[in-house]
Amino acid sequence: MRRLALLSVLLLGLTASRSSAAPAPLRERIDAFVQAELKRQDVPGVGIGIVKNGKVLVAKGYGFANLEHQVPAGPQTLFQAGSLGKQFTAMAVMLQVEAGKLQLTDPLTKFFPGAPASWAGITVRHLLNHTSGLPDLEGTLDYRKDYTDEDLARFAQALTLEFAPGSRWSYSNTGYVLLGIIVNRVSGTFYGDVLREKVFKPAGMTTARIISEEDIIPHRAAGYRLVNGTLKNQEWVSPSLNTTADGSMYVSVRDMIAWDAAVQARAILTPESWKEILTPAPLTSGATFPYGFGWQLDERAGKPLHQHTGAWQGFTSYFGRYLGEGLSLVVLTNSANANPSRFAQGLAALINPALAPPALTTPIEDREPRITAQVTALLEKARDGRLAPADFAYVRAGFFPDIAKLYQDQLNTLGPAGRLVLVERRTLGDDRVYTYLVTFGTKTFRLIVGLAPDDRLSSFGMRPQ
């Protein structure tokens, strides 16, 4: 049965390679949109893949893979995938589960005997769906230094849990770094080798691979970042930190189109494993959070949208599958400052206007004026630098003092805030998430605030509308 599954996905990959190009008018609109977005975001290059009902409408590069050598981007260009790699780490883990080498209910202490007692409540499942409570290692490591698995595990063990395992959801790269170490240990080989032999090859992802600085890799793109409005090369990261399982892969548009076919066929793993991967994260309260194992489980126009983004070392990425439309989108950029979701949202709307994200410009009835007053006060506390850990249900590592100071500086630069206008209220897990529009002079911003059941902050963010 497994051989038949692998054969089916290979055949799907071959079918997908026979592109059924988008009709000329649509293709022209797609090209015009992508070129305009490249210019608007100041992105050197982008790879775009669009699949509709199993047929490849677009597999194309725009702009440059390398500015210094003026190499155009193409469907074969290899971009760093960032956190799209978490989908593949989840595959490596589930392959070990199917082989009987670990269970989703295994505690971390089984694999890390020297771990603190607080890790006894963390399971493999908690790592996969970001409910472990482990804060991010990012910001605590020296990116110019090489680390062994043992070094990284020691760093993780020194972190203080943000919340009790399973009680909340909070994105944690640390969890996926540990998952890679677990796969290395239980499989007896590097997790990247597991992916190469058990996932990339059977899926027909012929050029996907783990990052290497020393190997000669055809069609490798260069990564870039904006510094004071000027494009610079990506910052250097040590070789070992470019092999961790939280997102250290090269992929091309062609690779991701082959992966899309594998996902559609539910290939490589058993149906039971795929069900686990695409099940929302259960919380101890009985609620669920819309995240599986390396997949955000969202909705658009009342139909499922499974998606994820990535960002790392001068690259950003997006992969989304609009299940009710039979539509899949791949966006791979070589800019740290790019917003690949904007590319994807615009492309989806070109294909079907109903897939455009809600504009969130129309006020809705504010049935909780007490909450709006609370958020107004919190905004002013942020301006005055008075936001404190006590205002939060739990505090993400790095919010104090760095992110809080950034908001303080931004708000003081913008000047007095106008009245908060509620445009969306939704539930995520146990939290209520409120989106307000707020004006500062002639500028309008979107303020997004999450509140835990006790009305303390679970998230706080602001961006231009």
| pLDDT band of 302, cuts 50, 70, 90 | very high
Alpha carbon of 375 to those of 99, 368, 369, 370: distances in Å?
50, 11, 10, 9
Question: Which helix or strand (DSSP H or E) is residue 458 part of?
Answer: strand 457-464
C-beta separation of 373 from 261 below 8 A: no
Q: Is the pLDDT of residue 242 over 60?
A: yes
| pLDDT band of 24, cuts 50, 70, 90 | confident
pLDDT tens per residue across span 333-347: 999 999 999 999 999
Q: Which residues contact 448 (CB under 8 A, 6 or more apart)?
A: 433, 434, 435, 436, 459, 460, 461, 462
Q: Is the pLDDT of residue 398 over 90?
A: no
Q: How far apart are the first and last CA of the chain?
A: 51
Q: Is the pLDDT of residue 60 over 80?
A: yes
Average pLDDT value over all residues in the chain: 94
> Which pLDDT belongs to residue 291?
98
Q: Is the pLDDT of residue 378 over 90?
A: yes
**Residue position matching structure tokens 């249900």:** 393
pLDDT tens per residue across span 101-139: 999 999 999 999 999 999 999 999 999 999 999 999 877
Alpha carbon of 322 to those of 269, 305, 319, 350: distances in Å?
21, 5, 10, 14
| pLDDT band of 9, cuts 50, 70, 90 | very low
> Which pLDDT belongs to residue 304?
98
pTM of the predicted protein model: 0.93
Buried/exposed code over 86-109 (b: 16+ C-beta within 10 A; e: otherwise): bbbbbbbbbbbbeeebbebebbbb
Separation CA 88–CA 47 (nearest Å): 20
> Which pLDDT belongs to residue 363?
97
> Which pLDDT belongs to residue 19?
56
pLDDT tens per residue across span 314-336: 999 999 999 999 999 999 999 99
> Which pLDDT belongs to residue 1?
32
- What is the mean pLDDT of the segment spanning 145-158? 96
Q: Is the pLDDT of residue 12 over 60?
A: no
